[in-house]
A and B are shown apart, each in its own frame.
Chain A
Amino acid sequence: MQEYKRIDISKAEIVPIAERMRKQNVYLVMIHAFVNKEGLLDVSWDYAVDPGVESYHVVGETTLPSIGEIYDAAATWPERELNELFGIEFEGLDTTQRLFLPEDLLETQGRGQIMVTPLAELVEKNKKEAGQ
């Protein structure tokens, strides 16, 4: 079984950790996010420290530094994705073009709608909007 190690960090540690990992040629597996039980955003930077994954978590922040200058597109694509799905702002990240979601969805429903709102509530909201 692959080892998975969760390490909680502060927002200020994100960039220094990314720089250290880059120096050691460690692959950035992915940047993930979810809304935890308390309703706070839990964002993780998962690095392939073989044979396991070291997962650095920041909880409760909606604006975070971008590590795009360190990991290039390997970081900016996940950051753009999280910006669209969760509305997380990454400082310095170019978000002028959409990555995944259709532009009309971003404009009309607001960022983060898809991942944060339960499906049942979305269906109800759409019904109301359609006047049913």
Chain B
Amino acid sequence: MTRWGMVIDAARCVGCQACTVACKTENQSPLDAWYAPVLEWESGEFPDATLNYLPVLCNHCEDAPCVTACPSGALTRRDDGIVMADEDVCIGSRACMTACPYGALHFFEDRGTVAVDAAPAGPEQSVPERYAHQRHVRGAVSKCTYCAHKIDFGIENGLEVGIHPLATPACVVTCPAECRIFGDLDDPDSNVSRYLAERGPSEVLRPDAETLPSTQYVGLP
């Protein structure tokens, strides 16, 4: 079986937010929704202080609390481990949002923005925001899909998933520090498995939540 997963080497992250923006343009998430932000925090006291970075995204948990909580069945976990939100099925209960320890679910509120096919766009409205209304369902919840559409495209077209830019999550492709590795966690010879063998063991976020994430970390501060 394939279980797609991402290893993030937090020690490599330079906090540039390329992933954050690449994700937005790839997935055309609504303006308020950032599926893959880089969290910051300060630590220490002057002069021994520093700013730390932590890239986050959906953890694509094996035991996904969002899937468990979702009443409509909109949230499902594919056989390859990717947790998907079917926005057409979602009823907008937002139970998933309180169930997810990672803040990975995003409710698309209608804030009166203009659809791309409606009035001409003003300078304040970004391209992803305009397309968000075509790409996403208002009143529904959307999320990181590990760019499942790119993975599926890659498999259909014989491209190497996790390597080829059209078959790899946008956040992975853009990262200048290459702190993200994407591949099959179940394949011991995959890039992620090899990286973990070398730099692991991996850690996960909110281990207390026992969600068995497919997004795993090394080099966490």
Q: Do A and B come from one complex?
A: no
